[in-house]
A and B are shown apart, each in its own frame.
Chain A
Amino acid sequence: MTSKFSLALKLLSLSLLLTSAQALEVNIKQGLPYVDVDINGESVRIQRIQDTSHKLKNSYTRTSRPAPPFSIQPFEPIKGIETVSELDVIDFISNEVSDNTGLLMDARMPKWYNEGTIPGAINIPFSMLSSSNNNPFVAQIFEIFGAVNKNGKWDFSEAQTLLVFDNGPWCQQGVRAMKNLLQQGYPKSKIKYYRGGMQYWQILGLTTIKPQG
């Protein structure tokens, strides 16, 4: 309840910032036409496609894929990890990502990520966080997230909150990433899950970018 209220307040303050902005036909929500975010020192605008007759033409128009492996994910696939909406993702980008206290994590394999992602997202393929022995990447990634290794034990008190997403409710990459993170000790309180993923993000006509380099 409190978090919903604070989200509403944050979105209201964002919308007040944008009162002078030009009116759009398709807003993110009433009073919030767009949000500008910092991507590699450049400003990128997140808004919805303004053409009201626009339809998707890419692979996110597909309704069916063989399941398994592309089974429908539960609303809360891991108990204790909050599932969030598009508005929460936008709020997260505007606040936590902007303050460097949070990281928007695209858990898909790079092939997918390079086709297009949510502005502000960083690609960390779920398999990179695998808990197998000899995985040299986890420790390096955790340090980059701000966790501190004290005598072999991870201290996550200063670590970033991770908002994880993948292709959408039929994709298991995000859930696997979260399971891998938990297996390695990352606290549930510092993980959020955007179940809608790229499919819902694009169905709503929200801005995507092709990562550079």
Chain B
Amino acid sequence: MIKKPLQLLMIVPLLSTSLFALSDKELAISINLSGKQRMLTQKMTKESFLIHDNINKQENITKLKESSQLFDKTLKGLIQGDDDLKLVKVDDPKIQAQLKKVQALWEPFYKEINNVINQKATPKSYQLLEEQNLPLLQEMNQAVALYTQQSKNNSKLTLANDINLAGKQRMLTQKMGKDLLFIHNKIKTATYQKDFKDSRVLFSETLDGLFDGSEKLNLKGTKLPKIRKQLTVVKSMWQAEQPILDKALKDQDIQKAIEGLDKILIEMNQASTLYTKSINRQKQRLKLSSLIHNFMNKSKILKKRINLSGKQRMLTQKMTKLALMIDAGINTKESKAQLKETAQLFEKTLNGFKSGDQDLGCIPSKDPQIQAQIAKIEKEWQQFNQHIQRIVEGKDGDGSSLEYLIKHNESLLQASNELVKRYEASNKSQNYLDKARLHIVNIAGRQRMLTQKMTKEKLLIAKGKSEYNDKLEKSIKLFDASLNALIKGDPQQNIVKPTNKEMKQQLQVVLKLWHELKPLYEKKEINKQDLATIIQKNPLLLKEMNKAVQISEKSIEY
């Protein structure tokens, strides 16, 4: 079972990859143009029959020429790509097979269209156009559906179905015009009367649904003022068209009815454009959100690494401190348990840096300098850990393992500190504040280490190792100066003065504890009571320092 945060980290790159591999822009062009093809099937048929009926013959020949050439060019473009139309070939075998089906229907259809244009059409030509225009429309519609399925994001977008049906309305205007001409020519009158009636009802229902939603048509409706304004234009034209359509059904004013439908097509097209713009904005927002998510995750991983590697420095000192406490007989049983636990945590984190760790949310870095440093720590740690285990198991009778820890703990600390530095250096962000925040995490993290180091040094002095007096003095000075910088800010150290109330209060808590402990650390002659106070309170200092780090990470204003 993968823990949630890590799961998210793993999904995000996949999500962004799929988003960009699809090339939404290219796909949107394909969907738009293949959608337009549906309308063209009806428009061409209508124009052919207008020519047949001698209605604005020359004008319609020109229009038919343009419509059919556009259909042909677009179909070829969909199949093999077209630079002019900005169409890119889609390799999906299902789409290719579907386009081939359309092509098989289109070739004989186009031949007869050309006969109409060249005024060589026979009754058989018109018969084919009448019989094949709907199969052509249906197969083209199927191709649109396949393109839409490719655009997986569409289902997540508001108005995705509304835009599809708004586009279909354009086709309906042409289909109704075509039906009127068939009825006028007494071609399957009953069939086309029904077809006309269905299209008319569907157009009305869709238009209403585009305004206020429709469960039946799965339309959301819109409150967007620009789109509603444009739909209102369509609606008023559609209402005005009704008596004209009624008359046309009685074979009167057909030309006027078709011209009215063409005007509605133009206005419906405007509405479709507005829908497309809205959808494109949503897509743009989605893509950018995905990128930002990716970007922020990188930053979070880095903070996590700096925090964890900083904590490792503290652990080196804590382990040595605990070993000294065991040696001095202070809380022996508890100290042994803590030492075992601390060593396990150090090892787990180290393995996390190397190979990843789900619990810690640790993802390994590929940076060779970081990998080299981890290998160096690992080498030192193996020996160090063997001696820790001897102490935990009570096998360090001769004190050699404790001596080993005393001798080598600072080397392990330095190696761990170098890892923190390398993680910090891997931050390529120019963000001044982010860098400052990371630096604060580092400094505050170092404070945690110092609480343990100072206690360790105090224990070593108590053990008679007077050479640690200078080291302890340096540690106290460093803790003091760093705490002062964290409270007041220090531009030279790139430490921003906190203005956040919670952070200010937390640092005061730390300061208060420090004021209690500092004199004890500084005291040359220390009694058992003082040592007990140090042992009891230094974990509190560590805990409160940890809280300060957390506030600095989470607050909006530092």
Q: Which residues of A contact B (CB under 8 A)?
A: 36, 38, 40-43, 59, 65-66, 68-69, 97-100, 103, 109-112, 115, 122-128, 130-135, 137, 140-141, 144, 172, 176, 180, 213
Contact = CB atoms under 8 A, between A and B. Distances in A.
Interface of B: 20, 157-159, 220, 222-226, 277-282, 284-285, 287-289, 291-292, 294-296, 428-434, 489, 491, 496-497, 499, 556-557
Contacts of B489: 66
Given A65-B499, A98-B226, A38 B281 contact: yes
Given A69-B433, A132-B430, A176-B430, A125 B281 contact: no
Contacts of B496: 66, 69
A130 B428 contact: yes
B114 to A, nearest CB: 36
18 contacts: A36-B224, A38-B226, A38-B281, A41-B278, A43-B222, A43-B224, A65-B557, A68-B491, A69-B433, A110-B292, A122-B284, A123-B288, A124-B288, A125-B431, A137-B295, A144-B284, A180-B430, A213-B289
A110 B556 CA distance: 10
Contacts of A115: 556
Contacts of B284: 100, 103, 122, 144
B556 A132 contact: no
A130 B223 contact: no
A42 B223 contact: yes
A123 B296 CA distance: 12
Contacts, number: 103
Contacts of A65: 499, 557
A135 B432 CA distance: 17
B281 A140 contact: no
B429 A130 contact: yes
Main secondary structure, interface of B, reads helix
B292 A123 contact: yes
A127 B430 contact: yes
Given A41-B224, A98-B277, A124-B288, 17 more contacts: A42-B158, A42-B224, A59-B556, A66-B489, A69-B433, A69-B496, A103-B284, A122-B284, A126-B431, A127-B429, A127-B434, A128-B291, A128-B295, A132-B428, A134-B428, A141-B288, A180-B430
B497 to A, nearest CB: 5
Contacts of A131: 430
Nearest to A128: B295
A180 B428 CA distance: 14
Instruction: Please list the 8 inter-chain residue pairs (A to B) with the smallest Cβ-Cβ separation, ordered nearest first.
Output: A41-B158, A127-B431, A43-B223, A130-B430, A132-B428, A41-B159, A36-B225, A127-B429
Contact of A144 (B287, B295, B429): B287
Contact of A100 (B280, B292, B429): B280
Contacts of B277: 98-100
Contacts of B296: 110, 125
A141 B557 CA distance: 27
B22 to A, nearest CB: 13
A141 B294 CA distance: 13
B431 A112 contact: no
Nearest to A113: B292
Contacts of B294: 137
Nearest to B429: A127
B281 A137 contact: no
Contacts of B292: 110, 123-125, 128
